[in-house]
Amino acid sequence: MIAELGLAALWLAAALAVLQLVFGTIFTLKSAEKAEFSQIVRPAAAMQGVLCALSFLILTWLFARTDLSVKLVAMNSHSMKPMIFKIAGTWGNHEGSMLLWVTVMAMAGALIALIERRLPERTMMATLAAQAFVGLGFYAFLLFSSNPFERLDPPALEGMGLNPLLQDIGLAFHPPTLYFGYVGLSVAFSFAVGALLTRQVTPDFARAMRPWVLGAWIFLTVGITAGSYWAYYELGWGGWWFWDPVENASLMPWLAATALLHSVSVLAARDALRAWTIMLGVVAFSMSMVGTFLVRSGILTSVHAFAVDPERGSFLLALLAIYIGGALLVFAMRAGSVTEGERFSLVSREGALVVNNVMLSAILGVVLLGTLYPLLTEAFDVRVSVGPPYFNPVSAIFALPMLLVMAVGPLLRWRHDSAKRIRPELILIAVLGLVTLAGVVAFAGIAVLPTLGIALAVVVIVASVMPLRGRKLRLLPLATWGMVIAHLGIGVSLLGMASETAFTQEKLAAVKVGDTTQVGPWTVKLDRIDPVAGPNWTALEGVLEASYRGGKPVTIDPQSRNFWSPPQETNESALITRWNGQLYAVLGREAGEGRWQLRLWWKPLVTLIWIGGMMVALGGALALIGRVYTDLRRRRVMRKAVERRSEASA
């Protein structure tokens, strides 16, 4: 009965979406005579959010109780699983994750309906109609081809379990975070389409759209950073980015959203880059959908191995064609009538942001091409796989100049500036960069890309705090703090990436109990091998004593785990984190004669990659709080003014 309730809530939500689409469209077309129609659209959007949330909670409840009469639960869960993984298992499968997608989308729609009051009513209704239109496709996808509430008759005696790799605390947070990001961008998409339809691309529109872009972007940043760390310690391969199609699927919306974030600021502050901003608004969410399609349809192979189904692939492709194709068509027809807005000179804040946008788009193009390339060549029966040798250097060609501009851009003024005014800063940055470069070349002797990376990281780190010079820090707007911290985070992360790439030391050894081995500054002793058991696995645990430069030994215990439902072997790596890097240990198989395979890495400064990523997200959060706070204050001031005026007239 409970499962049917969830399904009914979903159908009702879909019906409300139809209502929202129809009435929103009619209002957009004939707002003069159908003014009362807008009274229906907002509540419909809000109720949709409530119903979807209810449906999702019901599915979570079914997973928590391991209701084996529900097919999805029987296929993906197991009664012996720890509770946290039962709950996380709700979205650890295709149907559940699509329900999460729809839920987040409906809740985002509900939020705009409830709180957005700045846009003209027509644009608002067009936006909500667009949101409902996109939502409907995904309701249809869920209800017709991926029903999460399908029953199993007779019920299963026991569930089939969840992939052990997914039984990790990372899973509880990584996919939902990314989904908030992907789907949050749907709001930007709907705003863009709404504004195109009513031709009202104004700074007010940009200010309404900005918090949504920022919010989605923060979630994407956190999701990608956390996903990278999760892959790093869970897969036991010691790598943090593999240019895998699924990773690219999350990186592409992030790149587009980053570009959008900056161009929307130009539009809000200076009323320029109108068509470009709209275009990015469409592209950002399109990248989320294209990514989802590539991953779910199975036309690209990936380590992520989602449940793959060609029929679902066709469904998703049809949705893509309708939404992205439709939005791009509207863009093509209307963008010409959206005037370009204010002019500015190349040496100015806007100029730097345009360069940044062009470079980000170029990187997006590079990643997209690399991801799709195997698909293209397969058309000519050539099988290729595109990996780091393409992605790293080609994206660096655009990333390096972009980061340089990012270092300088915030020092420039809006509209018009001259390089002369900031000459001391430019000289300082150039000298610092060249000295670091020379130092690294002279003393480290590492590959070209990491060398440039380290020099550039130093430049970015120093330059990104420069906007603080000569300002009263207490009076500095929160949004400016956000920018400074986010840019600083990029520098910190870059330093970590370059250092990890250049200085990692690896050791693969077959060690007897009691023996020691060396990796970098670490001495590692295999103390003993213990059998251990968990709730649904058994494992061999290597107890290692690791000491850094002969210091006090620290015990770590990497495991080689055997899960029994479903049967699978995984490696649980063990880490020692120091301020200057991480020791990463993986226990392999017994190599015969009482020897055990040990894989050890010393990765200097590797943690900076994720610390930097989190700083970027924190910067975004500060900017978001700052913007929302300013907005609320402005709203209060305006309301007071209106009250005063009405009192005066009364």
What is the 8-class DSSP label of residue 289? H
Which range of residues in 49-57, 180-188, 294-302, 460-468 is near other proteins by CB under 8 A? 294-302
Rounded CA separation 483/293 (Å): 33
Q: Which residue has tokens 């030391």? A: 505
Rounded to a whole number of angstroms, the minimum distance from the CB of residue 192 to other proteins is 12
Rounded CA separation 592/296 (Å): 42
Rounded to a whole number of angstroms, the minimum distance from the CB of residue 384 to other proteins is 13
Rounded to a whole number of angstroms, the minimum distance from the CB of residue 373 to other proteins is 11
369 in contact with other proteins (CB under 8 A): no
Size of the site for other proteins (CB under 8 A): 31
Output the DSSP codes for 382-412.
------HHHHHHHHHHHHHHHHHHHHHGGGS
43 in contact with other proteins (CB under 8 A): no
> Residue 177 carries which side chain, given as an amino acid letter?
T
299 in contact with other proteins (CB under 8 A): yes
372 in contact with other proteins (CB under 8 A): yes
Question: Which CA distances in Å does 585 have to 229, 238, 505?
Answer: 15, 9, 12
Residue 495, both tokens: 């330093």
Show contacts with other proteins in window 317-336 (CB under 8 A). Answer: 317, 320-321, 324-325, 328-329, 331-333, 335-336
Toward other proteins, which CB reaches closer, 262 or 334? 334
Rounded CA separation 419/409 (Å): 11
Toward other proteins, which CB reaches closer, 379 or 533? 379
Which range of residues in 73-81, 156-164, 316-324, 529-537 is near other proteins by CB under 8 A? 316-324
Rounded CA separation 199/184 (Å): 23
283 in contact with other proteins (CB under 8 A): yes
Q: Which residue has tokens 């670490």? A: 522
Toward other proteins, which CB reaches closer, 375 or 397? 375
Rounded to a whole number of angstroms, the minimum distance from the CB of residue 372 to other proteins is 7
313 in contact with other proteins (CB under 8 A): yes
371 in contact with other proteins (CB under 8 A): no
Rounded CA separation 501/608 (Å): 13
310 in contact with other proteins (CB under 8 A): yes
Toward other proteins, which CB reaches closer, 78 or 312? 312
Rounded CA separation 400/396 (Å): 6
- From 226, 290, 402, 458, residue interacting with other proteins (rule: CB under 8 A): 290
User: Are residues 245 and 371 in contact, defined by beta-carbon separation less than 8 angstroms?
Assistant: yes
Rounded to a whole number of angstroms, the minimum distance from the CB of residue 230 to other proteins is 26
Rounded to a whole number of angstroms, the minimum distance from the CB of residue 141 to other proteins is 15
Site string for other proteins, 428-467 (x = CB under 8 A): ----------------------------------------
Output the DSSP codes for 448-481.
HHHHHHHHHHHHHHHHHHGGGTTS-GGGS-HHHH
Toward other proteins, which CB reaches closer, 75 or 279? 279
Rounded CA separation 81/89 (Å): 10
Rounded to a whole number of angstroms, the minimum distance from the CB of residue 454 to other proteins is 36
Toward other proteins, which CB reaches closer, 120 or 313? 313
Show contacts with other proteins in window 604-623 (CB under 8 A). Answer: none
386 in contact with other proteins (CB under 8 A): no
User: Are residues 544 and 557 in contact, defined by beta-carbon separation less than 8 angstroms?
Assistant: yes
| Largest CA-CA distance found in the chain, in angstroms, rounded | 97
340 in contact with other proteins (CB under 8 A): no
Task: Report which of 489, 501, 424, 483 is spatially closest to residue 457, judged by C-alpha positions.
Answer: 489
Rounded CA separation 458/464 (Å): 10
Rounded to a whole number of angstroms, the minimum distance from the CB of residue 194 to other proteins is 18
Task: Report which of 13, 206, 220 is spatially closest to residue 102, judged by C-alpha positions.
Answer: 13
Rounded CA separation 503/604 (Å): 6
Chain positions contacting other proteins, by CB under 8 A: 275, 279, 282-283, 286, 290, 293, 297-299, 301, 310, 313-314, 317, 320-321, 324-325, 328-329, 331-333, 335-336, 372, 375-376, 378-379
